[in-house]
Structure 1
Amino acid sequence: MSVQVYQHTLKSPALFAGVGVHAGAYTRVSVKPAGVDAGIVFVRTDITDRDNVVPARGRAVCKTQLGTVISNEAGVTVATIEHLMAALVMLGVDNAVVELDGPEMPIMDGSSAPFVRVLDRAGLRSQDVARTYIEILDTVEVLDGDKRATLRPADAFEVAFDIAFDSAAIGRQSVDLAMDEQAFRDELADCRTFGFLSDVEALRAMGLARGGDMNNCVVIDGDEVLNPEGLRRPDEFVRHKALDAIGDLFLLGAPLLGRFEGVLAGHGLNNALVRALLARPDAWRVTTFAEALRQVG
């Protein structure tokens, strides 16, 4: 089992900028060091007339259509946080302040890989306080028709996902991985978001996908992938779904010791699972490295 003893933050700010996939606005971001037990907090620097601090927590999620959006009590929102959240938790960043001057995180290339690179350049600093984990003690599951999201007890963090699409470009795909930092880097981080060309007009009419193109999304037309470079992996689609789930689960406020299973699930069901777990205090506990090792034996 790969676990981290102490909490970590960044050594120096991680700076990047880019266009949001939905709003289409250019946004600058600085991920800064934070103190112990601070967690991940987003700050909208473009808002000065009300509370602009939005903690990354499961109950703060206000929208899950094609991305995860969080808000605070003042109505300030931050959209499309899941790809950065996945990179933060899997690289071992417990505490950080994410300052951005717009409503949506940059989509970059549609994966977590650009965030991994900027976090690597910034480097991590160990903090002299034990890292906490959320250990799953009992199965928690949410259902929506044929869609399912489940957390089960396990000795380490595992992620499994199944998807099925009518398009021959995707079809049925499954992935099942023991997930630690190296596995995330090797297996999931570079897998991009995807969408169907037939949906673009309707999405843009709803104010979505205005910044989406083949530089930051795998675009499918019928049974064909339109991106000239093709796919990064034959099963890039299901791997990106697993990446999304990891980011959504970090809204629990700590990394998991448990197994996640998603079947045809998306951001909405992922957040429903987070809320279901929080509502079942008997199904989980907060543990540390030493306690986790004793559990594994």
Structure 2
Amino acid sequence: MAADAFQDRAFQHTLRAPALFAGVGVHTGAHVRVDVRPAPADHGIVFVRSDVADRDNRVPATGEAVCKTQLGTVIGNAAGVTVSTIEHLMAAFAMLGIDNAVVELDGPEMPIMDGSSEPFVRILDRAGRRAQEAPRRYIEILEPIEVVDGDKRAALKPAGRFEVAFEIRFPTAAIGVQKIDMAMDGPAFRRELADCRTFGFLHEVEALRAMGLARGGSMDNVVVIEGDRVLNPEGLRRPDEFVRHKALDAIGDLFVLGSPIIGRFEGELAGHAVNNQLVRALLARPDAWRMRTLVHHLAEAV
């Protein structure tokens, strides 16, 4: 491994400069401004609600902080302050190797942008990355960890690298059965998953809006399906965009662990709820994994 590649993987990183952007939340419909700023080593990803002044407005992105998983991942703190729909930005952080950042936003939900992680990748690329002196800690899976909820399943298994496998099945010709199975790193994420958008069904929209959800959803940020048809005029970005987006979601949901994974993730019909059940199952099984630095990992491999 070249010295610069080793440094890129072995040490923690933050942003080189702040990243500013704005957009609407897919569920609240509220316009939100976001300022992503550099943070010190071992800080992790912390969201800050600048519109909240009467109580603790800091919400660290951790597995235990996930408080809701209906159509998105929501984190909250002990003061009841929440931030919704963090998974697409978290996936970009995970796969671009950004370990530490402050995400300040002036509303309750992250902007949905175009429904994928690609806008966040572009924004973070413009800000740049800066290496920090602290080593990056990886979660190495030693024994299989699995959760099953009805027909939904998610698992983490030992592997020498991060791998992602996912399968979905929908009774519409627009989706059907889709599967992916691939090694995943920064270049692979950019190439294979980052541009894949969230999706939904037209017949569900009225019910969701009655529940206070999907108020900001449109064909600008969601792939909309009616019967066996995709309604978006531009069509799909990839024939299997649906399963690729589910894999993207899972990567973001796993990064609330605060460290990248050396292991294989498998998802079958899984969503945010099962993904977080898997996170909590891992935290409850300290015998099934260990925290490693890349230096130690490479030393044992030779």
Shorter chain as normaliser: what TM range? over 0.9
SS of 1:246's partner is helix
Q: CA deviation at 1:294?
A: 2.9
Partner residue, 1:22? 27
- 2:176 maps to 1:193: no
Q: CA deviation at 1:292?
A: 1.7
Q: How does 1:98-113 map to 2 (within 5 A)?
A: 98-113=103-118
Partner residue, 1:206? 211
Which among 152, 160, 164 is matched to residue 155 of structure 1?
160
Q: State the TM-score, normalizing by the size of structure 1.
A: 0.99
Partner residue, 1:235? 240
Deviations 1:112-137 (A, max 9, x none): 00000000000000001111101111
Partner residue, 1:164? 169
SS of 1:93's partner is coil
SS of 1:59's partner is coil
CA distance in 2, matches of 1:296, 1:154: 13
Partner residue, 2:229? 224
Deviations 1:214-255 (A, max 9, x none): 000000000000000000000000000000000000011111
- 2:197 maps to 1:175: no
CA distance in 1, matches of 2:297, 2:207: 48
Q: State the TM-score, normalizing by the size of structure 2.
A: 0.97
Letter in 2 for 1:37: D
Contact 1:155–1:296 at 8 Å: present in 2 too?
Answer: no
The structure 1 segments of at least 4 consecutive aligned residues displaced by more than 2 Å after TM superposition are: 294-297
Q: CA deviation at 1:5?
A: 1.0
Partner residue, 1:12? 17
CA distance in 2, matches of 1:49, 1:185: 40
CA distance in 2, matches of 1:138, 1:29: 39
SS of 1:248's partner is helix
**Seq. identity, %:** 73
Partner residue, 2:50? 45
Q: CA deviation at 1:296?
A: 3.7
Q: How does 1:264-279 map to 2 (within 5 A)?
A: 264-279=269-284
Structure 2 unmatched ranges of 5 or more:
none
Partner residue, 2:263? 258
Deviations 1:229-284 (A, max 9, x none): 00000000000000000000001111100000000000000000000000000011
Letter in 1 for 2:224: V
Letter in 1 for 2:103: V
Which among 94, 101, 126 is matched to residue 89 of structure 1?
94
CA distance in 2, matches of 1:188, 1:165: 20
Partner residue, 2:293? 288
- Change in CA separation of 1:131 and 1:204 when aligned onto 2, cut-off 3 Å: same
CA distance in 2, matches of 1:296, 1:239: 31
Deviations 1:182-213 (A, max 9, x none): 00000000000000000000000000000000
Structure 1 unmatched ranges of 5 or more:
none
Contact 1:41–1:96 at 8 Å: present in 2 too?
Answer: yes
